[in-house]
Amino acid sequence: MSKKIEKLFKSYRDQLIHLAKLYGVTEVKSYARSAKRLTISQLELLLIKNKIKLPINRSSDKAIAKHELRENSIRNVYLSLAFIFFIGCMIVSRPYIKNIVNEVKFTYVAEEYKSVKIDKTKKSKKKKVEKREITKEENLNLKGRNDNAISLNAQTTLNLFEELGYDLKGVRAGQKVKPIYLTKLPRDLKTLGDTRQKRELFIKIILPLILDENDKIIEDRKKLFKIIGKNFNTVGERVWLKRRFKEYKIDDQDLAKLKMRMDIIPVSIALAQAANESGWGTSRFALEGNALFGQWTWSKKGISPKKKDPNQSHKILQFQVLKASVRAYKNNLNTHNAYKEFREVRAQLREEGKQIIGLDLTKYLKAYAAIGEQYVRILDDIIEKNSLTDFDKSNLLPTKLKKGVAL
């Protein structure tokens, strides 16, 4: 086509103008209307800009090459910036992606164990009904099945935690605790020959339950201080406050009391008391009634101790799931008059900006058991021998898929 154009037009400039008109280059038209004369170089650059091929005998190769180099350079700069931005995003989001992947794996594996256990339970139950032979221990296992609570055996629980990468060594080193909540303790926990293994498994089971309750308290404290700091509270905030006063048994709606009572229980203390009161998860009260902390009740819903003083009519408070036991224990320490000094010293530690450590507060729990000072020494001994203070700084792994998995 360029040879035909050369024959039709006298000058190279005329060829360029013809091409511009032919392809409707608007810039050339506007220059023509304003009576401005464009140079050959300017015409060539405009055609190149509009991606129109020039005639063979183009005159200003240097100017054109310079223009093409500039356009390529600008494009390369933008591509480089986009690539750097992409790499930066990948680096920044890597921990988040890893967290989500671990969470998906955790949820999948936990649900897998749950479904497997349910299937095994159904098959086992069907088989036993056909034979019409159910032992006393199996009857206790099947009791209360309508609450959907599942009791994994010790080995299955160990395998589950191993599959999820949940080990206490990692937690002590700062690893976040996997939010998996067992609804019942393994009934064969006491069969584990290795005492250390049994204790570590018990801690792994109870630790997420305690941390979850403490997290709820921390969130409530944040909301409380936000409400206190406002000049005017909404209806919803006033209703929330009313419920918290009722939860923490404050009849006069004293905000100072609420601030003092609404606080965490040191993890080391909760673990030590659960271990002592439940025999590291092997007591009859813990296995039959999910009673981790040996709390008393005088209602019908409780388990009677076998060796009870004839003059006493109390029972051990029982619960549908382990988490309910932890919640009741937290409410007990945060509301009962016997632990007022415990709460006051805890508040003082807060005021001084100090970390709340279990060994700093055990001495104020002597009223928890009839043996008083001896009970405090027992708690201190459990905390120190099992290095439970390491867990006072531990945190739950945050999840966005769901709030943990209950088994």
The DSSP result for 289-308, as a single string, is: H--SS--EE-SSSEE--SS-
**If you ran DSSP here, which 8-state letter would residue 167 be given?**
-
* Of 211, 248, 246, residue with least CA distance to 336: 248
Q: What angle do CA 331, 335, 340 make, to 5 degrees?
A: 130
Alpha helices per DSSP H over 132-172: 136-142, 154-163, 168-172
Beta strands in 129-232 (DSSP E): 180-181
- Tell me if 64 sits within 8 A of 48, measured CB to CB: yes
So what's the pLDDT on residue 9? 57
pLDDT at 130: 35
Contact yes or no for 280/198 (Cβ under 8 A): yes
Q: Is the dihedral of CA 37, 38, 40, 44 positive or negative?
A: negative
Q: What is the tens place of the pLDDT at every residue in 274-324?
A: 999 999 999 888 898 888 998 877 666 777 776 666 666 678 888 889 999
Task: Scan for tokens 């060829």, then name that residue.
Answer: 15
- Contact between 178 and 166 under an 8 Å Cβ cutoff? The reply is yes
Please give the pLDDT value at position 395: 93
Alpha helix ranges (H) inside 9-60: 12-22, 26-33, 40-49
Identify the structural domains of the chain with CATH numbers, from first to last: 2-59 (no CATH), 146-406 (1.10.530.10)
pLDDT at 80: 78
Helices (H) then strands (E): counts for the chain = 16, 5
pLDDT of residue 141: 36
Q: What is the largest CA-CA distance in the chain?
A: 127
pTM of the model: 0.65
pLDDT at 129: 35
Of 133, 136, 346, 406, nearest to 221 by C-alpha is 346
Q: What residues of the chain score a pLDDT lower than 70?
A: 1-10, 29-36, 56-72, 75, 90, 92-150, 193-194, 298-300, 306-313, 400-407
- Structure-token match 């609804």, residue found: 183
Tell me the C-alpha distance between 276 and 15, whole Å: 99
Residue type, 259: K
Please give the pLDDT value at position 128: 40
